[in-house]
């Protein structure tokens, strides 16, 4: 009881409660006024909020690990959306504006090759150094990295044959996934991995499934759009990783304050958004129609199947990230770095590798948010910065540095935006969300679910 009283005795807490009550009352009034439209707005808010939640989650996982704002996330979101446009430009605008630039392909191929080389180096070099000569290792690594880069270049150069070029990758991924899951499950159940037969069986099943999928995908050109999602998310993530490993690591050693990192990443965002304009021209572009783009009628509200899919992706992404952070060794390491990076280093964690992976994951989420919102509306070079800011606001609303906060904040921000523009025109949407931000920061700075 005393806690409650002391909570209300603080002026800003009281104001927060009053504001919340006012907002709830306004929404309640609107709902009674026209329930159908309210339902429609709620649906819209959910689907917009799902995108914000995705961006906010990617943002949160990075921010709560390294504690600086990486503005590259805006570029990652735009890259995700424009990557899909780039790969599928033959299907949009009736193929009138087909784009495939060897320079762009080359740059991404180089980045992929570099990241693969780095990954091979960190994963195998020190382990295998005792068994093979330095020269062999270096040459093999370079060759593998070059092949990976070449492969990425080929995939990007022939976007019309995406389903054929990518089928082996899908097969390999599925096979590895099946084997890993079987093995983990088997170890959980049987308690050891001494037996060869189940492992072998899993291997056979995995490879079989992978081959089947590869053939199936290679035979169905309709899968190209979804494969292009994967490619552009992967590329956005790889660029993020490369930026971290190639630049941020050195910059953080010198930086006196997080603002240095913020300004530097602002420079990166500026450069990327300008490059996007140079490659794609500044006009808004559509993305090809995904599945479920026809509207359905649920309880009198029209909603696209795609929007439900977006919401589902956000929820699945949240569950996946939560699992990753809470259940796995990797997650524990990430949280340890977030708590105190120096201590984590002393304990013997290779922080660079872990943080690089975190940057990859974060950018993938941002790119996913970007391309989903691109399918919902249209894409334009400015969208990256706006999505980044919305994700940032969402994480402030939900509680900064907290994953649950990110998803809750995303959905709440989406809803508040929609209900906020009910009596205004849609163009005031950004104003509404920034007013929400300022109100939250002034009266409820910890957010809805503060980080413990």
Partner 1 sequence: MNSSSATTSPSVLERGLHTLREKGDLELYANVFIIGIAVIFTLWQGTGFAITLATVFCIWAILSVSLNLVVGYTGLLSVGHIGFFGIGAYGMAILTSDTSYELLRTEAIPQFGWPFFAALPACVLAAGVVALGVGAVFNRFRDDIYVLVSFGFAIIAFNVFLSWRALTRGAFGIHDVQRPSIGGWQLTGDIEFLILCVVFLLIAVGISWFLVSSSFGRVLKAIREDEQVAQVFGYQTTYYKLAIWVISAMMAGLAGGLFGSFTKFVDPNSFILLESMLLVSIVILGGLASIRGSLLGALAFVLLEEGMRFLPFLPDEFIGQARQVVLGVLLVLLMLFRPQGLAGRYKL
Rounded CA separation 274/276 (Å)? 5
Note whether 428 binds partner 1 by CB under 8 A. Answer: yes
Among 118, 151, 229, 272, binds partner 1 (CB under 8 A): 272
Among 14, 18, 200, 274, binds partner 1 (CB under 8 A): 274
Contact criterion met (CB below 8 Å) for 396 and 69: no
Note whether 14 binds partner 1 by CB under 8 A. Answer: no
Shorter beta-carbon distance to partner 1: residue 278 or 298: 278
Shorter beta-carbon distance to partner 1: residue 353 or 386: 386
Note whether 385 binds partner 1 by CB under 8 A. Answer: yes
Note whether 257 binds partner 1 by CB under 8 A. Answer: yes
Among 11, 188, 254, 452, binds partner 1 (CB under 8 A): 254
Shorter beta-carbon distance to partner 1: residue 102 or 221: 102
Rounded CA separation 403/34 (Å)? 34
Strand partners, 379: 285
Q: Site for partner 1 (CB under 8 A): how many residues?
A: 46
State whether residue 95 is helix, strand or coil: helix
Shorter beta-carbon distance to partner 1: residue 210 or 410: 410
State whether residue 379 is helix, strand or coil: strand
Among 46, 55, 264, 287, binds partner 1 (CB under 8 A): 264
Q: Which residues contact 101 (CB under 8 A, 6 or more apart)?
A: 279
Among 256, 329, 348, 423, binds partner 1 (CB under 8 A): 256
CB of 19 to partner 1, least distance (A): 14
Rounded CA separation 386/364 (Å)? 17
Q: Which burial class, exposed, middle or buried, applies to 327 when counting CB atoms under 10 A from its CB (0-12, 13-18, 19+)?
A: exposed
Burial pattern 100-123, b for ≥16 Cβ within 10 A else e, equals eeeebbeebbebbbbbbbbbbeee
Note whether 249 binds partner 1 by CB under 8 A. Answer: no
Instruction: Pick the piece of the chain touching partner 1 (CB under 8 A) from 138-146, 186-194, 232-240, 389-397.
Output: 389-397
Q: What is the CA radius of gyration of the chain?
A: 24
Among 28, 102, 221, 267, binds partner 1 (CB under 8 A): 267
Note whether 280 binds partner 1 by CB under 8 A. Answer: no
- Write down the residue that tokens 């660029």 correspond to: 239
Rounded CA separation 68/251 (Å)? 12
Shorter beta-carbon distance to partner 1: residue 137 or 239: 239
Shorter beta-carbon distance to partner 1: residue 222 or 426: 426
Note whether 438 binds partner 1 by CB under 8 A. Answer: yes
Rounded CA separation 189/302 (Å)? 47
Contact criterion met (CB below 8 Å) for 43 and 332: no
Note whether 99 binds partner 1 by CB under 8 A. Answer: no
Rounded CA separation 176/168 (Å)? 12
Least Cα distance to 368 among 112, 82, 55 occurs for 55
Shorter beta-carbon distance to partner 1: residue 102 or 208: 102
Instruction: Pick the piece of the chain touching partner 1 (CB under 8 A) from 97-105, 149-157, 370-378, 422-430.
Output: 422-430
Note whether 268 binds partner 1 by CB under 8 A. Answer: yes
Among 181, 299, 347, 441, binds partner 1 (CB under 8 A): 441
Note whether 440 binds partner 1 by CB under 8 A. Answer: no
Strand partners, 55: none
Residues 68-97 that bind partner 1 (CB under 8 A): 68-69
CB of 430 to partner 1, least distance (A): 5
Strand partners, 295: 304
Note whether 150 binds partner 1 by CB under 8 A. Answer: no
Contact criterion met (CB below 8 Å) for 69 and 261: yes
Structure tokens at 165: 């070029």
| Contacts to partner 1 by CB under 8 A | 68-69, 247, 250-251, 254-264, 266-275, 277-278, 382, 385-386, 389, 392-393, 396, 425, 427-428, 430-431, 434-435, 437-438, 441-442
């Amino acid at each position: 009881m005393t806690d409650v009283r002391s909570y209300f005795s603080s002026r800003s807490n009281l104001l927060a409660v009053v504001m919340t009550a006012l907002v709830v009352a306004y929404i309640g009034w609107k709902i009674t006024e026209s329930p159908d439209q309210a339902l429609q707005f709620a649906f819209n808010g959910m689907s917009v909020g799902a995108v914000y939640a995705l961006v906010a989650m990617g943002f949160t996982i990075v921010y709560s690990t390294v504690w600086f704002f990486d503005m590259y996330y805006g570029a990652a979101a735009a890259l995700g959306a424009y990557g899909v446009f780039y790969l599928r430009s033959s299907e949009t605008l009736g193929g009138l504006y087909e784009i495939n630039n060897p320079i762009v392909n080359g740059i991404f191929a180089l980045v992929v090759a570099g990241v693969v080389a780095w990954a091979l180096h960190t994963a195998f070099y020190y382990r295998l150094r005792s068994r093979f000569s330095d020269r062999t290792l270096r040459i093999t690594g370079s060759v593998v990295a070059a092949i990976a880069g070449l492969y990425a270049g080929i995939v990007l150069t022939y976007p019309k044959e995406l389903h054929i070029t990518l089928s082996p990758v899908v097969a390999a991924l599925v096979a590895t996934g099946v084997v890993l899951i079987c093995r983990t499950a088997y170890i959980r159940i049987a308690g050891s991995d001494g037996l060869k037969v189940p492992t072998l069986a899993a291997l056979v099943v995995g490879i079989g499934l992978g081959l089947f999928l590869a053939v199936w995908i290679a035979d169905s050109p309709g899968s190209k759009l979804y494969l292009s999602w994967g490619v552009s998310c992967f590329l956005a993530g790889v660029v993020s990783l490369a930026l971290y490993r190639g630049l941020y690591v050195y910059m953080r050693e010198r930086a006196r304050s997080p603002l240095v990192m913020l300004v530097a990443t602002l420079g990166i965002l500026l450069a990327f958004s300008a490059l996007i304009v140079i490659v794609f021209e500044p006009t808004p572009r559509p993305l090809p129609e995904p599945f479920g783009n026809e509207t359905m009628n649920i309880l009198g509200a029209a909603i696209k199947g795609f929007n439900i899919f977006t919401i589902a992706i956000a929820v699945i992404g949240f569950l996946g990230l939560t699992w990753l952070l809470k259940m796995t060794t990797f997650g524990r390491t990430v949280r340890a770095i977030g708590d105190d990076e120096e201590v984590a280093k002393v304990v013997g964690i290779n922080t660079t590798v872990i943080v690089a992976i975190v940057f990859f994951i974060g950018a993938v989420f941002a790119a996913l948010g970007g391309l989903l919102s691109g399918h919902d509306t249209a894409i334009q070079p400015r969208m990256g910065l706006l999505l980044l800011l919305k994700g940032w606001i969402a994480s402030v609303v939900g509680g900064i540095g907290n994953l649950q906060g990110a998803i809750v904040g995303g959905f709440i921000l989406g809803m508040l935006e929609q209900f906020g523009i009910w009596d205004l025109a849609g163009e005031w949407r950004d104003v509404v969300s920034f007013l929400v931000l300022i109100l939250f920061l002034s009266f409820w700075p910890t957010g809805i679910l503060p980080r413990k």
